[in-house]
Amino acid sequence: MRTLVAMIIACSALLLSGCADVKPWDRDLLAQKKMQLVPAPVDNALDEHVYFSKEAASGGQGVGGGGCGCN
Amino acid sequence: MSSRIFTRLVLLLLFGWAFSHTAMAAGTAPNFSLPTQAGTLALTDLKGKVVYLDFWASWCPPCRKSFPWMNEMERRYSRQGLTVVAVNLDKDHELADKFLNEVPAEFTVAFDPRGTVAESYHVPGMPSSFIIDRNGKIQAIHIGFREEDSADLEASLRSALSR
Amino acid sequence: MQLEGPSCVRAALTAASCGLLGIASPSVIASAAGDATQADTALLYYAEHDGRVKVSEATARLEQPLGDGETVTVTPTVDVITGASPTGATMSDKPQTFTTTDTTPAYTLPLKSFSDRRYAITVDWQQPLDRLTRSVLGASASTEKDYNSLGASATLMRDFNNKLTTLSAGISGSLDSVEPAGGIVPQGLTPLASAYAVASAAPTGYFDYEYEDLSRPHIEDALTTPVAASTALVHAITTASGAVITTGNGGTSTSIVNGSIARQTKNKESVDGMIGLTQVVNRRTLMQLNYSLGVSSGYLTDPYKIISMINGTTGETVDYRTELRPDSRLRQSIYWKAVYHLNEDVIHFSYRYFWDDWGIRSNTVDLHYHFVLGDDFYVEPQFRYYTQSAADFYHHSLVDVAVLPRFASADYRLAEMKSTSYGLKLALAIGKDSEVSARVTYMKQTGNSHPANAIGVQRTLDLYPGLDAVIAQLGYSFTF
């Protein structure tokens, strides 16, 4: 359990720190539909539905972030 | 061992956050010289005019919304000395051309594919606009484009034009 | 979608009420002019091998921008489910009869047929609170013959670090109710002969009743039409020893009180929370890390599932009992996703570790490779690998005279199993704002067919026949 917590904190720290400073105008690739966390929401919802009807685990996916970062 | 790695990661994290911003303060607008659809344009060429300097790209949805408004501003205030300059930051020129075919611009469009001018202005987000007064000083910086803000933006333009 | 007998959470297992959190995020990209409605429609056909479950589903996701980042998304769905699903009884070397008209042959997995239609809708409203903050409020509802669900969710997202980092936090809740076909929620872990006995007096205690006025017309099955008190509904089960067990109480299987039919309803509540971190790692890489926690309580048992009671020496089936699961469940998961842009192609990779207080531990690996084959065409191979450990109370069968465990279920979805899916998606862009796509997936579930604790004749039986399914999907996205 403690290793799990340490792993989570380490991953978060890694995510935040090992990151390049991407300029707002360099987010062209991130703006593309295929670069979104969930590029096809309908496919994703259908899949999730199949899998949680047939398996014991469920959920976990998140919302938001990434993308063009436009204001 | 894991606690040392952990401390280092936390320090890296703080380090990264500390360096995340260098903002542009109001001051003299950095000069630039960029190709446009009609020759090269330098900021110094526009001395005496109020410049609405906008940074945009084809992949930025709010940018699409801002074009009709910028067209309107150019129409309304160019006689009073307003020049709208929209600096395109697409790395692929073709994408910019495609956009301009769909959303025509009645104002000057300049091209900065390498982002050097954007860098000198420390552009904080896409899109961003800078209102530069007749003396070449940055009067206002606006991040983003939302229809509800356009009235305020227009008011700032009018105030810069009246000086 | 109920892929397992009626009820979306037929897998009364899972609680995320068909996933309210994290699924319906409005798209970040406005692909067309800001005010157009984005519609993503799909038709899905799911079919398992050997005459098991078949589902046809139609869904449409309609996203309408309301100006300045505000969006409303409505997703209606209709499912038609038919076929048969495992009852939980193991196969036997002798025929088993569960209804007067239907015998399961030897060496065949006992299945129960059903047919149902499910209607569901979710609505999400995304609202920017300021330049860096957004909230999403969602509501959902679904209904089918024996299951109804209502849910709500709220999520907050805030950007940091020049929008390179996004923190999100969400909470969702749902209220579900099960009203089993046949009108009775059986007693758990009770032999079938007495599990469906219904008190004819006013009910108290364990069961919740709902009375329906007989004078109003019904659509459902024969059991809902008024029956005379003397009509018998009997399930005759022939066990391996030839004994015939009669279920029902020999009289009516539904109780008529004061001219109304009592139809039992059981409720279930869930609350789920999630915190997530999304980080732009560099120009080509995006990552997300989420932690989720959920609690479900109430009736989590599957009212249709049974478990075989076997002779401790010979391994022959001698009786059947209804299953029973705990009335609470605490679920947690950690989910990591990475998206990486190559020259043109994009890789999507995710890993999820899930664990709960039922003893289940699962790992899910998901990989999609978005292969750009031209300006308008792409192909996307998809791979998914899933493993889970068994729930503490999962048993493929129970020894008849042994001490009964407090909870037991033979539902194959709670067993130790692995599932592998291979899929391929093809998509073609039409014009600027439309896309037509086709996707086919082959899913295979396998488990332990010959566990070490198999007794006697069970050693010759496949105690986990597994599952093969094909999923075909057609999609059409457009704006209007």
Contact B55 A9 (CB under 8 A): no
How does residue C240 score in pLDDT terms, banded at 50, 70 and 90? very low
pLDDT in tens, C181-201: 766 778 889 887 777 655 433
How does residue A65 score in pLDDT terms, banded at 50, 70 and 90? low
CA distance A14 to chain C (A): 10
Question: Is residue C352 within 8 angstroms of chain A, CB to CB?
Answer: yes
Scanning every residue of chain A, which has its alpha carbon at the shortest distance from the alpha carbon of B112?
A: A25
Q: Tell me which chain B residues have a C-beta less than 8 angstroms from the C-beta of A13.
A: 6, 9-10, 12-13
Report the DSSP pairing between strands C165-178 and C266-282: antiparallel
Same domain, C307 and C173: yes
Same domain, C122 and C135: yes
Q: Tell me which chain A residues have a C-beta less than 8 angstroms from the C-beta of B90.
A: 28
User: Which residues touch C112 (CB under 8 Å, ≥6 apart)?
Assistant: C5, C84, C85, C86, C87, C98, C304
Question: Is residue C406 within 8 angstroms of chain B, CB to CB?
Answer: no
Of C236, C264, C292, which residue is a domain's last? C264
In a domain, A69, yes or no: no
Closest CA to C233 of C84, C99, C97: C99
Q: How many structural domains compose chain C?
A: 2
List all residues of chain B from 23 to 82 with a beta carbon under 8 Å from chain C. Answer: 61, 64-65
For residue C144, pLDDT beyond 80:
yes
pLDDT score of C15: 31
Contact C29 A54 (CB under 8 A): no
User: C38 vs B19, which has greater pLDDT?
Assistant: C38
For residue A57, pLDDT beyond 90:
yes
Q: Tell me which chain B residues have a C-beta less than 8 angstroms from the C-beta of C34.
A: 61, 64-65
Q: How far apart are CA C132 and CA C157, in angstroms?
A: 8
Of C211, C235, C264, which residue is a domain's last? C264
Q: How far apart are CA C151 and CA C1, in angstroms?
A: 16
- Asked if C428 contacts C404 with a C-beta cutoff of 8 angstroms, the reply is no
CA torsion, ordered C369, C375, C376, C382, to nearest 10 deg: 0
CA distance C63 to chain B (A): 15
In a domain, A30, yes or no: yes
ipTM entry: 0.85
pLDDT score of C211: 41
User: A15 vs C285, which has greater pLDDT?
Assistant: C285
Same domain, C236 and C273: no
For residue C225, pLDDT beyond 70:
no
The answer to which of B22-26, B88-92, C275-279, C387-391 has the lowest mean pLDDT is B22-26
Contact B60 A68 (CB under 8 A): yes
CA C213 to chain centre: 31
Contact C159 A69 (CB under 8 A): yes
Neighbours of B26 (CB within 10 A): 11
Q: Which of A3-12, C71-80, C206-215 has the highest mean pLDDT?
A: C71-80
Q: Tell me which chain C residues have a C-beta less than 8 angstroms from the C-beta of B125.
A: 162-163
Same domain, C70 and C112: yes
Q: How many structural domains compose chain A?
A: 1
How does residue C112 score in pLDDT terms, banded at 50, 70 and 90? confident
- How many C-alpha atoms does A51 have within 13 Å on its Cβ side? 29
Of C216, C246, C264, which residue is a domain's last? C264
What SS3 state is found at C217?
Answer: coil
How does residue C218 score in pLDDT terms, banded at 50, 70 and 90? very low
For residue C9, pLDDT beyond 50:
no
Q: What is the mean pLDDT of chain C?
A: 81
Contact B148 C161 (CB under 8 A): no
Q: How far apart are CA B64 and CA B51, in angstroms?
A: 20
pLDDT in tens, B36-65: 989 999 999 999 999 999 999 999 999 999
What SS3 state is found at C220?
Answer: coil
Scanning every residue of chain A, which has its alpha carbon at the shortest distance from the alpha carbon of C358?
A: A56
Q: How many helices (H) and strands (E) does chain C have?
A: 1, 26
Architecture (CATH level 2) of domain B29-161: 3-Layer(aba) Sandwich (3.40)
Question: Is residue C91 within 8 angstroms of chain A, CB to CB?
Answer: no
How does residue C248 score in pLDDT terms, banded at 50, 70 and 90? very low
Contact C69 B146 (CB under 8 A): yes
> Out of C34, C131, C163, whose CB is closest to B61?
C34
Contact C34 B124 (CB under 8 A): no
For residue C226, pLDDT beyond 70:
no
pLDDT in tens, B124-157: 999 999 999 999 999 999 999 988 889 999 999 9
Q: At what angle do helices A2-17 and B2-18 cross, to 10 degrees?
A: 30
Same domain, C79 and C221: no
Residue-number span of the structural domain to which C229 is assigned? 181-264
pLDDT in tens, C269-328: 999 999 999 999 999 999 999 999 999 999 999 988 999 999 999 998 888 888 999 999
Tokens 């359990």, residue located: A1
pLDDT score of C102: 65
Contact B20 C131 (CB under 8 A): no
Question: Is residue A45 within 8 angstroms of chain B, CB to CB?
Answer: no
Q: Which of C131, C159, C277 should be substituted to probe chain B, the one whose Cβ sees the most B Cβ atoms within 10 Å? A: C131
Q: What is the mean pLDDT of chain A?
A: 82
CA C185 to chain centre: 19
pLDDT score of C303: 86
Average pLDDT in the C256-268 region?
A: 61
Scanning every residue of chain C, which has its alpha carbon at the shortest distance from the alpha carbon of B145?
A: C68
Same domain, C119 and C231: no
pLDDT score of A3: 62
Tell me the C-alpha to C-alpha distance, in Å, between residue C404 and each of C289, C309, C398, C413.
Answer: 42, 10, 8, 21
CA distance A70 to chain B (A): 5
Report the DSSP pairing between strands C398-399 and C306-310: parallel
Question: Is residue C373 within 8 angstroms of chain A, CB to CB?
Answer: no
How does residue A59 score in pLDDT terms, banded at 50, 70 and 90? confident
User: C270 vs C235, which has greater pLDDT?
Assistant: C270
Chains that touch B (3 or more CB pairs under 8 A): A, C
Neighbours of A10 (CB within 10 A): 15
pLDDT score of C228: 33
Neighbours of C330 (CB within 10 A): 13
Q: Which helix (H) or strand (E) holds A9?
A: helix A2-17
Report the DSSP pairing between strands C328-341 and C377-388: unpaired
Q: Which of A14, A25, A27 should be substituted to probe chain B, the one whose Cβ sees the most B Cβ atoms within 10 Å? A: A25
Residue-number span of the structural domain to which A47 is assigned? 21-54
In a domain, C246, yes or no: yes
How does residue B25 score in pLDDT terms, banded at 50, 70 and 90? low
Tell me the C-alpha to C-alpha distance, in Å, between residue C389 and each of C154, C350, C416, C454.
Answer: 32, 20, 4, 18
Same domain, C467 and C328: yes
Q: Tell me which chain A residues have a C-beta less than 8 angstroms from the C-beta of B9.
A: 9-10, 13-14, 17
> Out of A6, A10, A24, whose CB is closest to B126?
A24
Average pLDDT in the C341-368 region?
A: 97
pLDDT score of C100: 55
Contact C68 B17 (CB under 8 A): no
What is the phi-psi region of residue B22: left when phi exceeds 0, alpha when psi lies from -120 to 50, beta otherwise? beta
In a domain, C449, yes or no: yes
- The per-residue DSSP string of C355-399 comes to EETTS-EEEEEEEEEEEE-SSSEEEEEEEEEEEEPPPTTB-S-EE
Neighbours of C200 (CB within 10 A): 14
Question: Is residue C230 within 8 angstroms of chain B, CB to CB?
Answer: no
pLDDT score of C295: 96
How does residue B34 score in pLDDT terms, banded at 50, 70 and 90? very high
In a domain, C31, yes or no: no
Same domain, C55 and C111: yes
CA distance A6 to chain C (A): 13
- The per-residue DSSP string of C148-212 comes to EEEEEEEEEEEEETTTTEEEEEEEEEEEEEE--TTS--PPTT-BHHHHT---SS---TT--EEEE
Q: Tell me which chain C residues have a C-beta less than 8 angstroms from the C-beta of A53.
A: 1-4, 8, 10-11
pLDDT score of C244: 45
Contact C163 A24 (CB under 8 A): yes
Tell me the C-alpha to C-alpha distance, in Å, between residue C322 and each of C85, C253, C446.
Answer: 16, 16, 24
pLDDT score of A70: 77
Question: Is residue C66 within 8 angstroms of chain B, CB to CB?
Answer: no
How does residue C95 score in pLDDT terms, banded at 50, 70 and 90? confident
Tell me the C-alpha to C-alpha distance, in Å, between residue C182 and each of C199, C232, C355, C415, C461.
Answer: 15, 13, 34, 27, 31
Q: How far apart are CA C1 and CA C56, in angstroms?
A: 9
Tell me the C-alpha to C-alpha distance, in Å, between residue B63 and each of B37, B129, C39.
Answer: 19, 11, 23
Same domain, C269 and C145: yes
Contact B61 C30 (CB under 8 A): yes
> Out of C31, C136, C471, whose CB is closest to A33?
C31
How does residue C232 score in pLDDT terms, banded at 50, 70 and 90? very low
Contact A41 C23 (CB under 8 A): yes
How does residue C179 score in pLDDT terms, banded at 50, 70 and 90? confident
